[in-house]
Amino acid sequence: MSRYYTEDHEWVEVDGDIGTVGISEYAQSQLGDIVFVETPDAGKEVSKGDDVAVVESVKAASDVYSPVSGTVLEGNDALADTPELVNEDPEGDGWFFKITLSDASEVEGLMNESAYAEFVSKL
C-alpha cells in the first residue's frame, strides 16, 4: 500500500485498484473544528480534480477534490454523526470515501509522504 498527497491537501491510500481518500493532518489543523462533512454516494463517477465532498468548519465550507478518477465505492457514513473524527484522526478513521481507480497511473503525479511534508513546511 502507498499513500499519496495532493497540493490541495487530500491524501489517497492505494491498495490494488482501491483508493481511500481523506484530508491531511495539516488541512484539519488549518480548518479547526469540523462540524459537518458530506461524502459522495456509492456509484458516483468522478474525474481527478472534481469536487466530490464538502467539509465545513464553524466558519467556512470547503470542497474536497478527488485526487484520482474512478467510481466511488462508499462514503464514510460515520462522518455524518461524528464529523470530529476528521479532527481526531484525519489520516485514519476520518477518511472521506473509497474509490475504484480507473487509471492507477494518475497517482504518479502526486506527492509521497516526505514530499508532502516538505511542501507543507514551506506554506
Partner 1 sequence: MSNINASGWRPTTPEAGESNAATATGNRALMLEEPLIFEIGSISKTGVDFGDAPTGTSRLGGLERHQDIGLPGLSEPETVRHYTRLSRQNYAIDLGLFPLGSCTMKHNPRLNERMARLPGFADLHPLTPVDACQGAFEVIDQLAHWLITLTGMHSVAMSPKAGAHGELCGVLAIRAALDARGEQARKILLVPISAHGTNPATAAFAGFTVEDIPATDDGRVDLEALKARLGPDIAGVMITNPNTCGLFERDMRAISDAVHAAGGYVYCDGANFNAIVGRVRPGDLGVDAMHINLHKTFSTPHGGGGPGSGPVVLSEALTPYAPLPFVEKTADGFRLVEEETAGEHHAGSFGRMTAFHGQMGMFTRALTYILSHGADGLRQVAEDAVLNANYILRSMEDVLDAPFAKSGPCMHEAIFSDKGLPEGFSTIDIAKGLIDEGYHPMTVYFPLVVHGAMLVEPTETESKATLDQFIHAFRSVAERAKGGDPAIRTAPHFAPRRRLDETLAARKPVLAWKEPVGAQAAE
Q: And the C-alpha cell for 38?
A: 458530506
Q: Which segment (30-38, 72-80, 97-105, 110-118) binds partner 1 by CB under 8 A? A: 30-38
Among 39, 62, 69, 76, binds partner 1 (CB under 8 A): 62
**Between residues 42 and 58, which has the closer beta carbon with respect to partner 1?**
58
Residue type, 22: G
Among 15, 17, 45, 63, binds partner 1 (CB under 8 A): 63
Number of residues this chain uses to bind partner 1 (CB under 8 A): 23
Among 45, 51, 88, 103, binds partner 1 (CB under 8 A): 51
Contact between 38 and partner 1 per CB under 8 A? no
Q: How far apart are CA 13 and CA 47, in angstroms?
A: 17
R_g of the chain computed on alpha carbons: 13
Contact between 35 and partner 1 per CB under 8 A? yes
**Between residues 27 and 101, which has the closer beta carbon with respect to partner 1?**
27
Q: How far apart are CA 70 and CA 89, in angstroms?
A: 25
Q: Which residues bind partner 1 (CB under 8 A)?
A: 8-10, 23, 27, 30-33, 35-36, 51, 55, 57-60, 62-65, 83-84
